[in-house]
């Protein structure tokens, strides 16, 4: 899933301090799963904004709405007739959400309520960890099913580097050295030699380095 | 300022804190006027939003009275509540509202005196802090 974290409320009230009618807009997708942008969090943020209104003597009207997803136009359409009622929209979906809302409703003032962090998963309750950097050409099978691009601090394709110590990365002892794990795993599987085999350099044209990306699937295009 | 009458919402669990409430009652120890008591099955059931709503709707203080850590009937209810109270403290701080307006208290079943004392303590604290709107 896409993992995000809430922006500090102080930053959010600064963003919307000149508006009176504010819509807090949630998403039932990834951000609900990582407990940052679902209906529950919409309620908490809306309540915090109302308390701020009380504190500062502002006559705020804070609305709450949660879409099935904010990354699909058909759900964004649901906001027709709603967005116009507000002076500002705080989208607490990943960064895709505020953009889809802004694109569909060009006159609306849209603000991001969360900081989108990475693609990853929950490794324990309340703890998320990065797993994929969206390079556009997956190669984890070369590395025991583990991604050195997203999980090695230097995105090395031929690690570990000299900074690896006791399975930890030199940037911080809390950070696993994924290359240590890759080598151990390949050793256990008796496939260590595969890491030595020559592979042509990875093309980064499929990654962000190739500019903004899009994808067309003809069989789905109407 | 002298006529400021704080409104406080108190959540208390149906187990330890509730027994303490009964003892408190049998000792004729009252809870100050202005403290509204809401009994919940377990303090672990209290969500962040439950703690924020009273502030939104006019309360000046909120507290949670639950079991002691080692005597919670549902094992970890009060610890969960404590974490949510801490979250609300952070939210209040970010809004420039004193975090002391919300608190967790842990007490055992027989502590009737303490039950009444907590209510007075919170009342005194919030009285000193004054109204949230600053006037
Ligand atoms: S808008 Fe973002 S958070 Fe919501 S489902 Fe789509 S990708 Fe996930
Ligand atoms: S190799 Fe690329 S696509 Fe595969 S997990 Fe790593 S970053 Fe993601």
pLDDT tens-digit series, residues B3-12: 899 999 999 9
> What does the DSSP 8-state code read for residue B98?
-
What is the rounded distance in angstroms from the CA atom of residue A9 to the CA atom of residue A7? 6
Handedness of CA A92, B90, B81, A56 (dihedral sign): negative
Q: How confident is the model at residue B135 (pLDDT cuts 50, 70, 90)?
A: very low
Q: What is the mean pLDDT of residues B34-61?
A: 95
Q: Tell me: the pLDDT tens digits for B69-103?
A: 777 777 788 899 999 999 999 999 999 999 999 99
Instruction: Name the residue among B95, B96, B133 with its Cβ closest to that of A48.
Output: B95
Cβ-Cβ contacts under 8 Å for A171 (sequence gap 6 or more): A153, A163
Using CB atoms within 10 Å of the CB of residue A31, give its burial: 0 to 12 exposed, 13 to 18 middle, 19+ buried.
buried
10-residue mean pLDDT profile of chain A (222 residues): values are: 97 97 98 98 98 96 98 98 97 98 98 98 96 97 97 96 97 97 98 93 91 95 92
* Angle between helices A9-16 and A39-56 in degrees, nearest 10: 70
Asked if residue B22 has pLDDT above 80, the reply is no
A165: DSSP letter: B
CA of A172 to the centre of ligand 1 (A): 30
CA-based nearest residue to B106, from B67, B49, B56: B67
pLDDT given for residue B2 in this prediction: 60
Q: Which residues of B touch A66 (CB under 8 A)?
A: none
The answer to whether residues B98 and B87 touch, using CB atoms and an 8 Å cutoff, is: no
| Average pLDDT over every residue of B126-132 | 96
Please list the residues that pair with B66 across neighbouring strands.
Answer: B106
Section B40-68 average pLDDT: 94
Any atom of ligand 1 within 6 Å of the Cβ of A94: yes
What is the structure's pLDDT at A164?
Answer: 97
- B132 in contact with A at a CB cutoff of 8 Å? yes
Q: Which domains does chain B possess?
A: 8-129 (3.40.50)
- Determine if ligand 2 sits within 6 Å of the CB of residue A132: yes
Structure tokens of B99? Answer: 């975090």
Cα–Cα separations (whole angstroms), residue B86 to B79, B82, B83, B100: 11, 6, 5, 10
Cβ separation A47–B133 shorter than 8 A: no
SS3 A54: helix
Distances (CA, A) of A54 to A1, B60, B75: 36, 11, 37
First to last CA, chain B: 8
CA B78 vs. chain centroid, Å, equals 12
Residue A144 Ramachandran class (φ > 0 left, ψ -120 to 50 alpha, else beta): left
Nearest Cα neighbor of B93 from A63, A42, A5, A51 is A51
Per domain, the residue ranges of chain A are: 2-117, 133-207
Cβ of A146 below 6 Å from ligand 2: no
Architecture of domain A2-117: 3-Layer(aba) Sandwich (3.40)
As beta bridge partners, residue A28 has none
Q: What interhelical angle do B77-94 and A9-16 show, nearest 10?
A: 40
β-strands A88-91, A110-112 pairing: parallel
What residues of B are in contact with residue A10 (Cβ under 8 Å)? 94-95
**Residue B70 CB coordination number (10 Å):** 8
Tell me how crowded residue B34 is: count the other CB atoms within 10 A of its CB. 17
Confirm or reject contact between B126 and chain A (CB < 8 A): no
- Chain B residues with CB under 8 Å of A54 CB are 55-56, 58, 132-133
Query: With 0-12 CB in 10 A as exposed, 13-18 as middle and 19+ as buried, what is A89?
Result: buried
Rounded to a whole number of angstroms, the distance between the first and last alpha carbons of chain A is 27
Query: E strands within A49-151?
Result: 61-67, 88-91, 110-112, 114-124, 127-132
Residue B117's contacts (CB-CB under 8 Å, 6 or more residues apart) are none
Is pLDDT at B110 greater than 80 in this prediction?
A: no
Burial code (b: 16+ CB inside 10 Å, e: under 16) for B90-129 equals ebbebbebbeebbbbbbbebebbebbbbbbeebbebbbeb
Residue B134 binned pLDDT confidence (cut-offs 50, 70, 90): low
- Ligand 2 binding pocket includes A186 (Cβ within 6 Å): no
More confident residue, A203 or B28: A203
The C-alpha atoms of residue A168 and residue A105 are separated, in whole angstroms, by 47
């Amino acid at each position: 899933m896409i993992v995000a974290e809430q922006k500090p409320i102080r930053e959010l009230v600064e963003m919307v301090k000149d508006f009176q009618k504010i819509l807090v807009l949630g998403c039932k997708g990834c951000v609900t799963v990582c407990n940052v942008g679902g209906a529950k969090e919409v309620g908490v943020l809306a309540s915090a904004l109302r308390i701020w209104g009380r504190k500062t003597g502002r006559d705020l009207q804070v609305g709450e709405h949660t879409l099935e997803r904010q990354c699909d136009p058909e759900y964004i359409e649901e906001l027709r007739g709603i967005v116009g009622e507000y002076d500002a929209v705080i989208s607490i979906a990943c960064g895709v959400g505020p953009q889809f809302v802004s694109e569909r409703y060009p006159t609306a003032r849209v603000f991001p309520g969360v900081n989108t962090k990475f693609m990853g998963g929950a490794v324990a309750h309340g703890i998320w960890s990065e797993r994929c950097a969206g390079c556009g050409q997956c190669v984890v099978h070369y590395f025991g099913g583990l991604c050195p691009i997203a999980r090695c601090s230097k995105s090395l394709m031929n690690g570990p580097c000299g900074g690896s110590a006791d399975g930890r990365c030199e940037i911080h002892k809390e950070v696993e050295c994924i290359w240590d794990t890759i080598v151990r795993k390949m050793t256990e599987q008796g496939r260590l030699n595969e890491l030595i085999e020559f592979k042509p350099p990875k093309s980064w044209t499929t990654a962000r380095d190739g500019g903004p990306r899009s994808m067309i699937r003809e069989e789905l295009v109407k | 300022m002298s006529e400021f009458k704080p409104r406080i919402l108190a959540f208390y669990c149906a187990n330890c804190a509730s027994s303490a409430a009964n003892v408190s009652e049998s000792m004729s120890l009252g809870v100050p006027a202005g403290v509204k008591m809401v009994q919940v099955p377990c303090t672990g059931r209290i969500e962040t939003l439950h703690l924020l709503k009273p502030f939104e709707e006019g309360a000046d203080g909120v507290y949670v009275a639950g079991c002691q850590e080692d005597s919670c009937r549902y094992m970890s209810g009060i610890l969960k509540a404590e974490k949510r109270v801490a979250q609300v403290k952070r939210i209040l701080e970010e809004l420039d509202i004193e975090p002391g307006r919300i608190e967790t208290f842990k007490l055992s079943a027989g502590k009737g005196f303490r039950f009444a004392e907590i209510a007075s303590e919170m009342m005194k604290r919030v009285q000193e802090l004054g109204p949230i709107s600053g006037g």
